[in-house]
């Protein structure tokens, strides 16, 4: 890489030095200060991947919400890069988001998560074993018997539950202090047809930091859906509250195909620092064609093989997409008024998300029915979300911050239906 020869080893006690003809391109900004990306990555106890994925971004929100404390600038002052030495392409506009209330809430929940310091309890690993073993076992059986569609349907749901319960916690670093355990379980995302590298970037670095920010959150930009007022209106959107479930039904299969094409085209500019992880995801992605080959061997016709393949990804994809969409798109969800680079971090995260149900749904869905708590504390294991929710809710309501909790999935769905209907209506002239 161009700057390798211009920056001293991260282990050096002195500041990175620059070649007189070069500026530093690979930096992360935290609380207004720029740091050498590769230097931070090499010293990060949680593994290098998330730091490298955060290259050329403002990492303040990601660091604070992941560690529940402020960045130790003194500890890493040897990696500090003066702004005048940062390449103009890597310089960023000011970020004034405030975290005072956030750290106050962190102190309040600390006793609640103290039994495991917020990481996974022992029984969680039984859950992981059951989910992963079932999916792998069914995959292996594909080569020896023509399994019925209902088995594939169940496997598809188990793959969705792996996404919600296993890879999600792991790729947020919430399972264990040991980054290798998190990384290994995070690769179950690749097992299920996605890619942990792209997911970690799009979800952790972008969506979590810029939730419902219409200028920055890519998850609001879904083809054929008008999820924000800035999307030009067309007649078809008048029916989006009816057809969005159909779109979500094909989400899983389309996502898998797009992911494989993207992976094999090679790392793009944003992913140039994660080559080894990219190669690993590529290798695991070979399970996708192997599954189809298994169906071709044991199913009576190509039609049956294609049907099983579609079902394998569509049903679970629908499950995932449904719960994700309703958690950030409901009547009262803040969008156009959100600026993720200013204001109160707690307000920005809480008023763009919603909760639904209780502890049972949290067990099934990896705690992601508690989206508010998850967005505030992504590196707290999901088994704690229903326990810390009353504290978070109380502190938000005391400060006039909207805290939306739907009693049932039906209530949440109706609100999402109405929200889509409102956005799909023709804007007044």
Summarised one tens digit per residue, pLDDT across range 1-56 is 333 333 333 333 444 555 545 899 999 999 999 999 999 999 999 999 999 999 99
Can you give the pTM of this predicted structure? 0.92
Taking phi over 0 as left and psi of -120 to 50 as alpha, with beta for the rest, 98 belongs to beta
Summarised one tens digit per residue, pLDDT across range 175-213 is 999 999 999 999 999 999 999 999 999 999 999 999 999
Query: What integer pLDDT is reported at residue 8 of this predicted model?
Result: 35
The more confidently predicted of residues 3 and 271 is: 271
Query: What integer pLDDT is reported at residue 92 of this predicted model?
Result: 93
Burial class (CB in 10 A: 0-12, 13-18, 19+), 40: buried
**Residue 297 pLDDT exceeds 60:** yes
Summarised one tens digit per residue, pLDDT across range 364-378 is 999 999 999 999 999
Q: Which residues lie closer than 8 Å to 367 by C-beta, 6 or more apart?
A: 373, 374, 381, 382, 383, 384, 385, 386
Mean pLDDT: which of 158-162, 276-280, 286-290 is highest? 158-162
Mean pLDDT of 235-249: 95
4-73 classified as CATH 3.30.1490: no
Average pLDDT over the chain, rounded to whole?
Answer: 93
Percent of the chain residues topping a pLDDT of 90 = 89
Summarised one tens digit per residue, pLDDT across range 88-125 is 999 999 899 999 999 999 999 999 999 999 999 999 99
What are the sequence ranges of the domains in the chain?
A: 4-73, 98-429
Query: What integer pLDDT is reported at residue 17 of this predicted model?
Result: 52
């Amino acid at each position: 890489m161009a700057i390798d020869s211009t920056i001293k080893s991260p282990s050096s006690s002195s500041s990175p030095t620059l070649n007189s003809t070069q500026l530093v391109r690979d930096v992360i900004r935290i609380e207004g200060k720029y740091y050498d990306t590769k230097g931070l990555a090499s010293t990060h106890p949680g593994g290098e991947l998330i730091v490298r994925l955060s290259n050329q971004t403002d990492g303040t929100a990601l660091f604070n919400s992941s560690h529940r404390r402020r960045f130790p600038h003194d500890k890493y002052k040897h990696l500090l890069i003066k702004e005048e030495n940062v390449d103009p392409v890597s310089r960023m506009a000011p970020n004034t988001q405030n975290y005072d209330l956030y750290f106050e809430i962190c102190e309040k929940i600390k006793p609640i998560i103290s039994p495991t310091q917020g990481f996974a309890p022992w029984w969680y690993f039984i859950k992981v074993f059951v989910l992963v073993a079932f999916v792998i076992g069914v995959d292996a059986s594909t080569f020896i018997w023509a399994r019925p569609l209902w088995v594939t349907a169940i496997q598809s749901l188990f793959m969705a539950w792996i996404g919600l319960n296993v890879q999600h916690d792991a790729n947020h670093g919430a399972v264990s202090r040991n980054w290798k355990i998190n990384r290994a379980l995070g690769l179950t995302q690749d097992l299920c047809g996605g890619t942990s590298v792209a997911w970690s970037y799009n979800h952790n670095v972008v969506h979590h930091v810029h939730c419902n920010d219409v200028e920055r959150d890519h998850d609001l930009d879904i083809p054929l859906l008008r999820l924000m007022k800035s999307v030009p209106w067309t007649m078809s959107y008048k029916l989006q509250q009816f057809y969005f479930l159909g779109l979500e039904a094909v989400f899983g299969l389309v996502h898998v195909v797009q992911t494989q094409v993207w992976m094999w085209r090679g790392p793009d500019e944003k992913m140039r620092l994660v080559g080894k992880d990219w190669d690993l995801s590529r290798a695991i992605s070979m399970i996708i064609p192997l599954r189809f080959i298994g169906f071709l061997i044991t199913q009576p016709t190509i039609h049956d093989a294609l049907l099983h393949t579609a079902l394998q990804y569509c049903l679970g994809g629908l499950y995932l997409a449904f719960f994700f969409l309703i958690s950030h798109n409901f009547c009262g969800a803040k969008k156009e008024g959100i600026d993720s680079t200013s204001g109160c971090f707690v307000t920005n995260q809480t008023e763009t998300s919603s909760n639904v149900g209780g502890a049972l749904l949290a067990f099934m869905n990896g705690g992601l029915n508690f989206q508010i708590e998850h967005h505030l504390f992504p590196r707290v294991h999901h088994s704690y979300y229903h326990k810390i929710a009353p504290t978070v809710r109380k502190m938000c309501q005391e400060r006039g911050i909207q805290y939306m909790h739907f009693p049932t999935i039906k209530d949440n769905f109706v609100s999402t239906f109405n929200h889509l209907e409102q956005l799909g209506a023709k804007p007044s002239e």
